[in-house]
Amino acid sequence: MNAAKPRIEIEFCMQCRWLLRAGWTAQELLTTFADELGEVALRPGSGGVFRVSVDGDTVHDRKRDGGFIELPELKQRIRDRIAPERDLGHSDRKS
């Protein structure tokens, strides 16, 4: 792990069988932010949790946000925290 680079944690509900969603999300984030991230960790939980955090700060919580976030929006939220100058190309929000 590179301590100088951000750590993403994806906490997901095992009872809800959201491991595949968590793994897919991790893969997408690692692909998009290959040079910016130090680690992406999957953390099993329960009770319907699906939470994504950057260095301990929550950027998406399924319960708080009223459902699952679309991947382009999640990438934007993470980009805004770890590499605000970075262009996400076609999935970036329109000005």
CATH (domain of 62): 3.40.30.10
Longest CA span, the chain: 40
In a domain, 22, yes or no: yes
In this structure, what token pair is assigned to residue 92?
A: 């970036």
| Residue at 66 is within a domain | yes
- pLDDT confidence band for 78 (50 / 70 / 90): very high
- Position 3 scores a pLDDT of 57
List the domain range (segments joined by +) for residue 27.
7-84
Contact 63, 11 (CB under 8 A): no
Tokens of 80: 């805004």
Domain membership flag for residue 52: yes
Query: The whole model's pTM is what?
Result: 0.91
Average pLDDT along the chain: 93
Number of domains in the chain: 1
Average of per-residue pLDDT across 33-39: 96
> Is residue 71 situated within a structural domain?
yes
3 contacts 34 by C-beta, under 8 angstroms: no
Mean pLDDT of 63-78: 97
Placement of tokens 């009223």 in the chain: 66
- Whether 2 is in a domain gets the answer no
Of 1, 13, 11, 14, residue with least CA distance to 43? 11
